[in-house]
Structure 1
Amino acid sequence: MGSVRKSAWMIAAVGLGLHLLAQTGALRLAFPEAWLMIALATLTSVLGYRWVVPLVAGASLLDALLGARRFLLELVALYGISSLLAAWFGARLRRAYAERKRSSRLISLLVRGQKEFYGLSTRSAVLEALPTILEEYGQGHVSVWEPEAEGGGFRRVAASRSFPQDCHVIAGDGIVGQAFGEKRPVYLSDVRSNPRYLPASASGSWPLCELALPLLEQGEAIGVLNLEYPEPLGQESRQALMHFAQGVSRHLDHLSERSTLALLAELNRAVYSAQDLAGLGERALALLGQVFELDGGSLVQQDGSRLRALAFWGDLAPQERALLEEGIPFGQGLAWEVLRTGQPLFSDHYASEARALPVLKASGVQALLLHPVALPGAQRVRFLLGFQTRRRRRWRQSEKEMLARACRVVGLALEGVLERQRIKTLLSLQQSVLELSPEAAYGQILQTAVAMVPGAEAGSLLVWKDGAFEFRATQGYDLEGLRGVRFSLEQQRAWHDDPAGWQRGLPRIRSSALTEASLETGLPEDKKEQARLEEIKANLHLPIRYAEEVLALLNLDNLHDPSAFDHDSLHAAQLFAPVVATLLHDLRYRQRLEEAALTDVLTGLSNRRAFDLRLAEELERARRYAYPLSLLVMDLSGFKAINDRLGHKQGDQALQAVASTLKKQRRNGDSLYRWGGDEFAAILPHADLEGAIAAATRYHRAIGALEIGGMRLGVNIGAACFPKEAQDAEALLHLADERMYQAKSRKVPLAMD
C-alpha cells in the first residue's frame, strides 16, 4: 500500500507542475486545468473523502491567484466532482484490496486447516478441531453445534476461546436451526436487524455478521459450524468458508464410509465363526451395541405365534428378559409390525408410541431400534435386531444406513447357521427315530417339522394305511378326537390343489377358504372343532413321496397370520421331505415286520401279543385324556361242533368268517384281536359301559347270522369298562373274562353281573 501512495504523490506532483507551467505561459497546453484535476483525483483516491474539500479549496485558490477568475466557479465544480468520484473509486479499490488480502489469508488458513482435519480419524475429533483451526481468522466467535436428542435445541460441541463460555445450549429457531433444517448456508450481514439472531450471551458484545454453515454426513445435517465477526464478510470470504464446510462434510462422509467398512469387516469376522444362533446373536449385539453406544439389545426370532429372544446383550431389566424369553404374543408391540412390513423402526420417544409394551415403558426405555434381519432371497422377515437406551437419542441417517448393511451381513451369517442347524436336526431325527416306537416316531417327525419350518406353530401327520390316510400324530390339535378320520387319495390330492406339485412331492401354501376346502375334501362336519378349522389362518401341505408312492401327508398350520409361510418355509419343507420319506419307508417296513409278529395268520386280526401291547397303550391314553375305554372278551359257541363234524378246513373258514364279520361291525378306532382257538377280543376307546353293550350286541347278532356248512355259530361276551369298573389292564381283563365265563355257563350272549 505504501508504493501506491508514493506513485500517487508523484503523479500529483507532475500534474501540478504541468498546470503551473501552462498557467505561467512557460508551456502551451490546450486545457491546463485538466492536469490539476488529474493531480486532485489522484490524491483523493489515495487519501479518501476527508481530503476532498481541502484539496479542491487549495486548487481553486491557486487558480484564482493565477488569474483564472472568469471560470472559477466552473472549475471548482469540476474539481469537486472529479475528486469525489476519485475518492469513491479509491475507497472501492482499497476495500477490494483488503478483502482480497483477507480472503487470501483465509484461503491459506483453510487449506492448512483441511490438511489438519484430514489427519483426524473420528467425527467428534473433526468437529472439536474446527474452532481451533478457524479462530486465527479475525476476532470473531467460532462454534460448532449439534442437535439435542430432545427439546429441539442445539448443544455446543466445541468453540473458540473468545466464545462466551457460559453458553452451552441455544434454541432451535435461530440462524443455526435454520441452516440445520434447510441444509444450506445462512448469512446475516447485520445481526442487529434480524429477529432470528440469538445472542450467545447477554453479557457478551454483539458481533456484526453471522454465517451458519451446515455440516453434512451422507447427505444428512449432523451439525452446524457457526461464525460471528465484528465486520461483514466479503463474497470471496463467504465462498471460501462455504467450500471449507463442504470439505469438512466430504471428510465426514469418508470417515462414515470408512467406519462402516471397518465395522462390517469386524462383524463379518465375529459372526461367521459362530456355531449356533445364540452365539451369532451375542457377537453381533455386543459389537453393534458398543459402536452405537446403546444400553442393551436382543436378537429375536419368530417362533410360531410369539417373538422369542435367541440372544441378549447389555443392560436389560429382568422383566424385559422374562418377556422376551417367554415371547411377545402375536400382534402386540411394534416388533410384529416391523416383521410384517420389513421396514426398520427408529423411535426416539418410545413411551409415547401407541403400541409400546408396558413392560418396556415401565423399565424406562426412551429410545428403541427394531431392525429386520432378512435372509438372502427371503421375502418374509423372521428375525429382528432390537436395541434400546434409557435416554433420548437421535438416529442419524448414516447410522441407519450402517445398521442396514450390518443386518445384511448378519442375515447372510444366519442363513449359514440355519442350514447347518437344519442338517444337524435331520441327522438327529434319523438317529432318534430308529430307537422309537412307530407312534412315538410319528410324533417326533411332526415335532421336528413344526420346529424346522418357518411360520409353523401347529400341524398333523397323516399316514397311508389300509387304503386311506389317517391321523397318526398332531401338535396343537386333539389327536384322540381325530382318530378314525380317514381320507382317500383323491380327497387329499384335491386338498393339495396342485396336481403337478402333488406328482413331484412339492409343498403348497394355502391361506384362504381353508374351512370350505377341508370340508369339501373329506373332513367330517362334526370334527371341525377338533381340527380347529375356524382358527387356521395359513396351511402348508407336503405330500411325502417315496419312489412313486405317497407314504404320508404333512400339514403345517399357523393359527394367527395368513402370510406366515413364505419361500423360506417351502425351502425348509423341501429339505425335510426326502429325509422323512426314507424314515417313513423304513418305519413302514419295520412296522410290517412287527405286524407280522403281532398278526394272526389265519384271520388277519392282531394276536394276543399285540392285544397286550395295545391294551396298555390305550389305557395310558385314556387315563391321560380322561375318557372311558371298554373291553370285550368273546368266546365262540358252536365252533367245536363245526370243527369236529366238518373238519379243520371248515373250522378255519368259520374263524375267518367271524373275523370278517367283526371287522364289518366295528367302529373307527376300535381294534379286534384273536387270542387263539375260538377266543376273540375287542378294545373300544371312548366307549362307556352302554357303548360296550351296544357293540357286544352288534357282534352277537352278526356272528349269530353266520352259517358254516349248515351249522350256526354263536358267541358269549364279557364286557368291562375303565375307569368305572376297573383301574388297570389286569383288573379290566379279569372282569371281562369272568363275565364271559358267566355268559357261557348261563348260555346267554352277554353277562354283566
Structure 2
Amino acid sequence: MAHTLDGRLATVLTALGRLAGEEVLTRLPVLLADIGPDAAEVVLPGAGHVPLRCGEEVVRELRLPPGAPLGSWRLFAAGVGALLETGAGRARAERLHRLTERLAGQGEDLDLVSRILEGVVTEFGLRGAQGLRDRCGTLHPEARWRVGDPGALPEWSAAERSALREGQPTVREDGLLLPLAGRWRTRLAMWFTAPPGRAWSPHDLDLLGAMAHAAGLEFERVQLTRHMAALLRLQENLLALGAEAAYQPLLEEALRVIPGAETGSLLVREGGVFRYRAAIVHDMAELRDVTFTLEDVRDRWYGLGLEAWAAGVPRVLVRPGQGVHGTSYTRAGVWVDALLPSVYGIAANVGVPVLYRGEVYAFLNIDARHDPHAFGGDSVEVARTFALHAAALLRETAQRARIEEAARTDVLTGLPNRRAFTESLARQVAAARRYGQALSLLVLDVSNFKTINDGLGHAAGDEALVQIGAAVAGALRTGDEVFRWGGDEFAVLLPHTAAAEAGVVAGRIQTALHARQVGGLPLHVTIGVAGTTPGEDPDGEALLRRADAAMYRAKREEKGLAPLV
C-alpha cells in the first residue's frame, strides 16, 4: 500500500513541477484528491499537522488520514516545499530583474537608489535600508537614501571595508552590506537591516549581487558623463583666462572629478625645473619658491620609467612618505636633500604627467590624506583622461595668452604698448581710488630723435628707441611699469608714488641715459611728471593730460625735467 502511495505521490510531484510557482498551492488539493481516499487534506497552518514550507515559512499543512505512512507524506511535503521555494525564487528573480531593468539609463535620477532600496526591503521583508557613500575611507549615510527603519549603522571592521572595496557583500547577524560594484573600486553601498534570525541563501545573494552590479555600472556611466560635461565647462571657462589664472581652477576641477581626491597640486615645467603653480589645502608657504629638477620629478617622484613618463601613464603611490627616497628640491636657490614635510601626511597619491605633443608640460599630483586605498581603477582612468584634456587646455590657454600678450607688446622694444598702457592705467587708477593711494605718471619724449633718425638712418633711430626703453626699465623699481606709448614717446606708471617721489624717479632715468649714445649722438628725453596725493580721487585721463602738458612745457623751456605738477 505504501509503495503504491509513494508512486501516486511521485506522480503528483511531477505534475506540480510542470506548473508555475504561484499555481502549486492552488492545484495541490485537486491533484491529491485524485489519488484516492488515503490522500491527505491541505489545510491552513497552525494545527500541528505535516508542514509545507517555503523556505523557513510554513504556508500550509497536510492533515493525514488515520494510519497514513508518515514517512511518505513527509518526503512528499519536502518535495512540495522544494517546488514552492524554487517557484518563489523564480518569481523573486523576475521581480528583481524588472527592478534592475529600471536602472538602465536612469542613473541621473537621484531617487532611483531609494526606489531600489524600497523594492529590496519589500521583497525580503526587511526592517529598513540605508544608502552609503565612501568618503575618505569611511562609509557615510546619504540622507535621501534611507528607507524604513535601518536603525543605528554598525561599526564596520577593517576586513568588512576591505571586502566592500573588492565588491564582496558582507552578511552579518543584523543585516547585509551590499556593494554597488561596477568595473572599478566600490564607492557606493547599501545596508539592509534584517530582522533577528534572517538567513540569506546563496540564491538571494546572487540575485542581489546581480542587481547591485547593474546599479554600480549605471552610476559609473553617470559619473563618466558628468566628468565629460565638467571638462567641456572647464574648457569654456579656462579659454577666457590667461595661463597663470587657469592653473588653480584646473586643479580645483581635477579634485572634483577624480574619485578619492582630497587635495592636490600642479607643477608646471619652466625650462629645466618644475615649479608649483597651484595647490589646494597644502600650505602654500611651504611650496613657495620651491623647484624640482626634471630628474627628481621624473625618476624619483614619478618613478615608472621614461616610456611611461612619455606616454602620460598615471602612477599610484601608497604612503609616499615611506616609499619614496632620494627626492630633493630647491627653495629660493638653496638645495634641500629631503622630501617636503607635507608628503609624510599623504596616504595615497596619483601622479600624472601632463603631455602635449610628446612633451611633459606639467605634473598633476592628486592626494588622499586619510585613505591609503582611495584610488582605484576609476581614479586612474579619470586622471588619465583629465590630464589629456588639461594638456590641450593649458597649451591653448597659453597660446591665447601669447597672442593677447603680443597684441599688448611693442615689437621693436619688447615693452608693453599703448593698448597695454590704457588697460594698466585703468587698473592702477581703480586701485589707487579703492585704497586711497598715490599714483604718478611720467610721459617721456626723445628730444633729439629726429636728428638721430634723419642723420643716421632708421636703423639708428630704432636702436635709440631700444636703448631708451632698456634704460628706463632698468631705472625703475619693482611694481613700476614702462610702456612705449607711440612713436618716440614712452610712459611710466608709478603706483604708491606722489609727484615729488616721481620727480626722483625721473632724475634716475635721466642719469641712466646720460652715458648712452647712438652713432656718437647722446640720448636725451624730456619728461613730464604728474601725480596725485594719498586720498585724492584720481582721474586717469586728467593725469595723462597733466603729464603731457608738463612734458610740452619742459620742451618749451628746453629742460630735461618739467616742474612738478
1:563-712 mapped onto 2 (5 Å cutoff): 563-599=373-409, 601=411, 604=414, 649-650=463-464, 652-653=466-467, 655-656=469-470, 659=473, 673-676=481-484, 708=516
Q: How far apart in 1 are the matches of 2:262 and 2:465?
A: 54
Specify which of 394, 399, 407 is matched with residue 198 of structure 2: 394
1:675 CA drift (Å)? 4.2
Q: 2:113 maps to which residue?
A: 281
Q: How far apart in 2 are the matches of 1:117 and 1:454?
A: 50
Mean Cα displacement is larger for which, 640-649 or 469-478?
Answer: 640-649
1:272-421 mapped onto 2 (5 Å cutoff): 272-276=104-108, 278=110, 280-303=112-135, 307=140, 309=142, 312=145, 314-315=147-148, 336=161, 339-340=164-165, 342-349=167-174, 368-376=175-183, 378=184, 380-388=185-193, 392=196, 394-397=198-201, 398-421=203-226
* CA offset digits 1:98-122 (Å, max 9, x no partner): xxx2453365356436745874625
CA contact (8 A) 2:448 2:523 kept: no
Q: 1:159 maps to which residue?
A: 45
Corresponding position: 1:263 with 2:95:
yes
State the one-letter code of the partner of 2:116.
A
1:371 CA drift (Å)? 0.9
CA contact (8 A) 2:107 2:218 kept: no
Q: Say which SS state the counterpart of residue 451 (structure 1) adopts.
A: helix
* CA offset digits 1:187-208 (Å, max 9, x no partner): xxxxxxxxxxxxxxxxxxxxxx
Q: How far apart in 1 are the matches of 2:279 and 2:418?
A: 29
Q: How far apart in 1 are the matches of 2:124 and 2:409?
A: 69
Change (3 A) 1:285 1:295: same
1:472-551 mapped onto 2 (5 Å cutoff): 472-478=277-283, 482-494=287-299, 495-498=301-304, 499-514=306-321, 517=324, 520-522=327-329, 524=331, 532-551=342-361
Q: How far apart in 1 are the matches of 2:428 and 2:158?
A: 44
Task: From the two aligned structures, give the one with the greater helix fraction.
Answer: 1
State the one-letter code of the partner of 1:497.
G
Change (3 A) 1:658 1:278: same
Q: Normalization by structure 1: what TM-score?
A: 0.52
Q: Say which SS state the counterpart of residue 177 (structure 2) adopts.
A: strand
* CA offset digits 1:616-674 (Å, max 9, x no partner): 999999xxxxxx9x99989899x989999998635632542664798xx97xxxx6632
1:590 CA drift (Å)? 0.6
Change (3 A) 1:707 1:443: same
State the one-letter code of the partner of 1:343.
Q
State the one-letter code of the partner of 1:399.
D
Q: How far apart in 2 are the matches of 1:484 and 1:719?
A: 35
1:522 CA drift (Å)? 2.5
Q: How far apart in 1 are the matches of 2:538 and 2:14?
A: 92
Q: How far apart in 1 are the matches of 2:531 and 2:162?
A: 59
Q: 1:460 maps to which residue?
A: 265
Q: 1:9 maps to which residue?
A: none
Q: How far apart in 1 are the matches of 2:464 and 2:212?
A: 78
1:394 CA drift (Å)? 1.0
Q: How far apart in 1 are the matches of 2:514 and 2:157?
A: 66
1:145-224 mapped onto 2 (5 Å cutoff): 159=45, 161=47
CA contact (8 A) 2:247 2:266 kept: yes
Specify which of 372, 389, 398 is matched with residue 562 of structure 1: 372
Paired residues in the alignment total 509
Q: How far apart in 2 are the matches of 1:618 and 1:461?
A: 30
Specify which of 89, 92, 104 is matched with residue 4 of structure 2: 104
Q: How far apart in 2 are the matches of 1:466 and 1:308?
A: 48
Q: Normalization by structure 2: what TM-score?
A: 0.67
Unaligned segments of structure 1, at least 5 residues: 1-100, 144-157, 164-210, 350-367, 622-627, 690-695, 742-753
CA contact (8 A) 1:631 1:683 kept: yes
Q: How far apart in 1 are the matches of 2:331 and 2:280?
A: 20
Change (3 A) 1:588 1:413: same
Q: Say which SS state the counterpart of residue 104 (structure 1) adopts.
A: helix
1:558 CA drift (Å)? 0.8
Change (3 A) 1:429 1:514: same
CA contact (8 A) 2:472 2:512 kept: no
Q: How far apart in 2 are the matches of 1:411 and 1:565?
A: 17
Q: How far apart in 1 are the matches of 2:168 and 2:430?
A: 50
State the one-letter code of the partner of 2:204.
E
1:226 CA drift (Å)? 9.8
Q: How far apart in 2 are the matches of 1:453 and 1:727?
A: 50
CA contact (8 A) 1:271 1:283 kept: no
Q: How far apart in 1 are the matches of 2:494 and 2:284?
A: 21
Change (3 A) 1:303 1:658: farther
1:250 CA drift (Å)? 3.8
Q: Say which SS state the counterpart of residue 506 (structure 1) adopts.
A: coil
1:433-448 mapped onto 2 (5 Å cutoff): 433-436=238-241, 438=243, 441-448=246-253
Change (3 A) 1:345 1:432: same
Q: How far apart in 2 are the matches of 1:683 and 1:539?
A: 44
* CA offset digits 1:306-332 (Å, max 9, x no partner): 646395253469x99xx9xxxx9x999
Q: Determine which structure has greater relative contact order: mean sequence separation of CA pairs < 8 Å that are 6+ residues apart, divided by chain length.
A: 2
Q: How far apart in 2 are the matches of 1:471 and 1:432?
A: 22
Instruction: Give % identity.
Output: 26
Change (3 A) 1:272 1:393: farther
CA contact (8 A) 2:21 2:91 kept: no
Change (3 A) 1:705 1:138: farther
1:726 CA drift (Å)? 8.2
Q: How far apart in 1 are the matches of 2:475 and 2:293?
A: 23
1:370 CA drift (Å)? 2.1
